[in-house]
Structure 1
Amino acid sequence: MGAACSSILTASACCQDNTHREDEPLLGDKERQAVNMLVELFERRTTVSFYEGEPLKALSTLVYSDIYHLQLSAATAFSEISEIDTRPVSREALEPILYLLQSPHIDVQHGASAALGNLAVNMENKLLIVRMGGLEPLIRQMLSPNVDAQINSVGCITNLATAEENKMRIAKSGALLPLTRLARSRDVRVQRNAAGALLNMTHSAEHRQQLISAGSVPVLVELLGTDDQELQYYATTALSNIAVDEGGRQLLWETQPTLVDALIRFVDASTIKVQCQAILTLRNLASDDQYQIQIVEHGGLDALLPLLQSAYDPLVISAAACLRNLSIHPDNEEHILSSGILPCLVNLITHTGSEEVQCHVISALRNLVANNDADKTPFAKAGLFEHIREVISDPHTSDVVMGEMVAALSVFVLDDSLWPYMVDDGYLELLIPLTHSESVDLQCNACAIISSMASKAGEISDRLVQVWDKPDGGLQSYLAAFVKIDEGMDPTLRSLAIWTVLMLLESGSPELVNLVTWHPSIVKNIKKIAEMGALDEERARHSAYASAGSAAGPRVSRAFEGEMFGDDADNGDEADDDIYNRMESLAQDVVALVHSLEH
């Protein structure tokens, strides 16, 4: 408070001196009383609120005085008070500050904008400042040639722009053009504040589009070339947000040919927070196939590899998320596998310190396996199934991670070079208990994987026999439970169970055929399902449930669903409507096969 107190004391001395020069204004009685009160109040300022009552009235008297020195004292006092006291304030407290902001004197404006910037760290104050018309004078101050005025006004708008309600008003106020211009200022303090304000405006699609229209994108890309790490961080984060939108990515692709190279340089060598944001920007850009290819061609994999091995989780998460998107493009598979990244990805499956890492890496591996029909033996030899087994067997594994792991297995099991490893590694024993999971999605994928393995029953009949009654009741318990006519049973799950029975019967294994046909309820219940009309009532309930707007049931892994249900399985509503017809058809195939075996 020293400066403010000093200014007020100087004014007090002036008004008590009988030797005034003719050109010095004289204080009126109210002004003299206000000055004397404030001198006394500042002596015990830590216990006084200057935003209400007599202290605010005294400061307001100085604000509305015609004497420049008193206005400057009031502006300076508000600036310093607000540095240590940022509580929510009333309209009455903001009005004199906003009045000072419109002063013709730059130093008075400077103190007022500093006070607003300090108060604008409080959410209630942010909203009130804008509602009371604070943007217009702040914008005028941004246009001032005075650097200090630019710093304060832009800093205040940066704070105001963190409130969602304010962003639209800021965008419509005309502030984006001067903010964009000031992001090119020669003063790094002005640049930082301006870049921070632009960043705060990138958190919604509408405001990102307005920034694009204001010409901010080339400026943000230019800031990547500065040596200031704060500016690098603001620019990469803003560009990352712009790259969320398809239109933003297309604009960057068409107008910023050097962007990927600049970001990869940051990934290679920069502060950790800039590295993270650069990687996340690359991840968002890699939502488009053209960027997926370009990032790999420009050395992105070499930059990501050491970060996957970092001891700092945010870097690992960012790198794994970026690689997840890069793995989508089939042309990148060979580059990824030859880069040495595969062992890192496999090892990160058991990175229990971060669920995000586990989910990203298993999704990347799933993409790589699904991309083409090449031999995937290197995945298994890298320890893929040992690591997944460890995660699934861990009782502390979260439902989210478990779901991602099993969804990936539903893709792996379809690969001719991988499914034998799953059988040999005991995945039947791991998956059968999951058919009893409370998560229907987890149930669906577990059942789909078991069904896919059952389609190889002629080759693995011994393993299927071994799991017929264990663990957790074994295969027979799962099949018996799912083929019951039960209104609570999802039709997709029941269809998977019937299809599995059909595969076992077609296996050619006498032992498997006997286990199925001699079971007390499996074939018996499937015969009921095969009877035309036996499921009419349940079908009606299912249709009514779906029509009410609820999900018609979980969707099994699409890779497997097409194999079992036909090519139209991807037509969501049609597949749901037709599931009962397919179920009856499968049941009829089972009954016919049992009949032929009996004869």
Structure 2
Amino acid sequence: MASGLCENCSRLLKEVAAYLRKVCREFQQKIRDIFRELSQCTCFRTTPERNFLRRTTQELHLLYDDETQLLSQEGLQTLNKLAASESTDLQMTAAMYYLHLSHHLKSPLPEDFMEPVMALLLSADLDVQKTISLALVNLLVKNNVCKELVIEMGMLVPILELFQSGDATAQCHSCACVALLASSESNRDAIMVDGIIPLLALAKSYDPQVQQNATWALLHLTQSDWSTRILCQAGAIPVLVLLLQSSDSEVQFCSCTALCNIAAIQEYHPKLLSIGGHYLLKSLLTLVSSSVQKNSAQACRCLQTLSKNVLIQEQLMDLDCVLPLKALLKTSTAVCTEPAVTLLSALSAHPPNHDVLVGEGLLDEVGQLLHHHRSNSAIVTHSCVIITNLCSSSMGQQALMESLCLSGLLWALLSPALSDETLLHVTSCIHHLMTWDLLRSHLSVTLTAQQVSGLVKLSGQTQNPLLSYNCAAIMSKLEMTEEIISLLRPHYIAMAEYLLVFLKNKDVKFQHLGIIAIFNLKKDGDFSSLLANSELEVQLRKVHAQTEETRRLLQMIQPLSPSSVNP
């Protein structure tokens, strides 16, 4: 499991940053108004403390208006004094300044400026703690603060203590802090010590934002084997499974992703499935039908990870999983289609599932898929796996001919976006289908001039010999009808060139294919005329002579009797 941030986590961070910017803009305007009023108020002249507050608010107000002075040493000294004060008003002034700072800062925050943050987190006033924790979240989101430094300074303790405050806002901010800190692998050990049980408790909070941030933190803790093990021992699995039913789509996504990470370790499968009535699989299948695309896609990935277990495959089929997965194949975006076809290809690898999958019309959907997503390597590859697996029965072959699968495979050959590796899957699939008489006849009448041209071109390329072999093998199995001959005739010279390369190849497999292809093509008199006295014919005679010589040498060796082999 990777320790870096994935695309979805990066998106979550951006959403948090956008939310914080909105909040901070409101705070900023409020702070400016308050500071202006405080600096003019005469009541601050009555005591030394009020005179200090008046003076410091005036100083900080000047810093607000000059962005280049945000991190001045004078400002740092003032912040230290305010944070160390016993006055909650002075502490709040410092906390609000940090909130403003967190919104406007574009460079790393110097370590010296972290000392007042620690003091403010230890404040006895909950409002001060809420304000400074929000500022810390913003600084962490923007990477203005080193996550490891936060842990080293001991800030995790007061942050975790806010979990027990009973205040939803404080819990929300502190959970967000922990989630961001947990995104750093080196911090997870510290968080695991005292943070797991409180996080699991807050994950069941009635406040959606608290629940979301707590689940987000738990997700980060499933990104390493060790922390995942501790989480599972602490009872995280039932909590995460229940969160799949949350009304909040972000909570659903985080809990599903966390479960996907856990499912990657097979020893946890019994725990994942121990909740009665197939609760986990039913919840994931419900999520597959979610209107939120990233959630349905993530549910597919989780099911695909679990489907490596044959028992779970059987349970999924019993729960009629094919219908919601087929619905995802019809979506126009690869975000949902790709994980759905990946899961279906895993299910098709289990022979007892073949008849059900064919009966559910899966090949019809795969045929449509190949036509609509012919440039997507993952979708094309898994479609080839499904077709290869399901054509083993007569029922599957008939369904294949009635679908658009064969034409979809042939058109995929012409996609410039597909890699050689993907084309290898496509040609291997077509070559496999050509071993069936029914499918070979059907494919022979389906080929177009453009597709034949593509096969010839791929047969002649030398960078990937196996791809070249597959394409040549496909054409060698074509029925030499008048229609096929008319399609092949314009390419006879090009075909003769790659067949010559095959015959010169030291690999006997290529030589055999070359001979078979020449035998098939000689059914057309035009090719026979081209062959006569050509370099290809000379090479063919050399291969024949070598074969005869090999046969003669083998005859010199007396075959061993069975008794001498097995005394």
The residue correspondences of 1:443-482 to structure 2 (distance < 5 A) are 443-448=465-470, 450-451=472-473, 454=476, 471=491, 473-482=493-502
Say if 1:155 and 1:197, in contact at 8 Å, map to a contact too. Answer: yes
Match of residue 45 from structure 2: 17
> What is the one-letter code of the residue matched to 2:511?
I
Say if 2:444 and 2:484, in contact at 8 Å, map to a contact too. Answer: no
> What is the one-letter code of the residue matched to 1:130?
I
Deviation per CA, 1:118-175, whole angstroms, max 9, x where unpaired?
Answer: 1011235243433444323322322333333211111111222334444x34554432
The 1:114–1:383 alpha-carbon spacing in structure 2 relative to 1, beyond 3 Å, is closer
* Percent of residue pairs bearing the same amino acid type: 24
The 1:508–1:38 alpha-carbon spacing in structure 2 relative to 1, beyond 3 Å, is closer
- Paired with 2:257 and 2:490, the residues of 1 have a C-alpha distance of 53
Say if 1:8 and 1:73, in contact at 8 Å, map to a contact too. Answer: no
TM-score of the two chains, using structure 1 as the length reference = 0.74
Match of residue 439 from structure 2: 418
Deviation per CA, 1:426-456, whole angstroms, max 9, x where unpaired?
Answer: 477653431223541xx314414644775x6
The 1:113–1:516 alpha-carbon spacing in structure 2 relative to 1, beyond 3 Å, is farther
- Paired with 1:502 and 1:287, the residues of 2 have a C-alpha distance of 42
More displaced 10-residue stretch of structure 1: 379-388 or 187-196: 379-388
The 1:176–1:64 alpha-carbon spacing in structure 2 relative to 1, beyond 3 Å, is same
> Displacement, 1:191?
0.7
1:38 is aligned, of 39, 48, 60, to 60
Match of residue 281 from structure 1: 302
Matched, 1:201 2:221: yes
Size of the alignment, in residue pairs?
A: 517
3-state SS of paired residue (1:123):
coil
- Paired with 2:552 and 2:271, the residues of 1 have a C-alpha distance of 57
- Paired with 1:416 and 1:470, the residues of 2 have a C-alpha distance of 26
> What is the one-letter code of the residue matched to 1:495?
V
The residue correspondences of 1:154-553 to structure 2 (distance < 5 A) are 154-166=175-187, 168-255=188-275, 257-352=278-373, 355=376, 356-369=378-391, 376-395=397-416, 397-399=418-420, 401-426=422-447, 430-437=454-461, 439-440=463-464, 443-448=465-470, 450-451=472-473, 454=476, 471=491, 473-484=493-504, 494-501=507-514, 503=516, 519-526=536-543
Matched, 1:140 2:161: yes
Matched, 1:108 2:132: no
Unaligned 5+ residue runs, structure 2? 1-27, 556-567
Higher normalized helix content (fraction of residues): 2
> Displacement, 1:283?
2.6
Deviation per CA, 1:494-521, whole angstroms, max 9, x where unpaired?
Answer: 3321222465699898989986998444
Say if 1:232 and 1:274, in contact at 8 Å, map to a contact too. Answer: yes
- Paired with 1:187 and 1:278, the residues of 2 have a C-alpha distance of 24
- Paired with 1:318 and 1:275, the residues of 2 have a C-alpha distance of 9
- Paired with 1:220 and 1:8, the residues of 2 have a C-alpha distance of 49
Say if 1:327 and 1:368, in contact at 8 Å, map to a contact too. Answer: yes
The residue correspondences of 1:78-93 to structure 2 (distance < 5 A) are 78-85=98-105, 87-93=107-113
Say if 1:413 and 1:449, in contact at 8 Å, map to a contact too. Answer: no
3-state SS of paired residue (1:158):
helix
TM-score of the two chains, using structure 2 as the length reference = 0.78
Unaligned 5+ residue runs, structure 1? 21-25, 486-490, 532-586, 594-599
More displaced 10-residue stretch of structure 1: 298-307 or 396-405: 396-405
> Displacement, 1:109?
2.1
Match of residue 535 from structure 1: none
Matched, 1:73 2:93: yes
Say if 2:462 and 2:468, in contact at 8 Å, map to a contact too. Answer: no
More displaced 10-residue stretch of structure 1: 467-476 or 195-204: 467-476
Deviation per CA, 1:298-332, whole angstroms, max 9, x where unpaired?
Answer: 12111122222223442323322222222222122
> What is the one-letter code of the residue matched to 1:135?
L
- Paired with 1:293 and 1:460, the residues of 2 have a C-alpha distance of 44
More displaced 10-residue stretch of structure 1: 174-183 or 254-263: 254-263
> Displacement, 1:59?
1.7
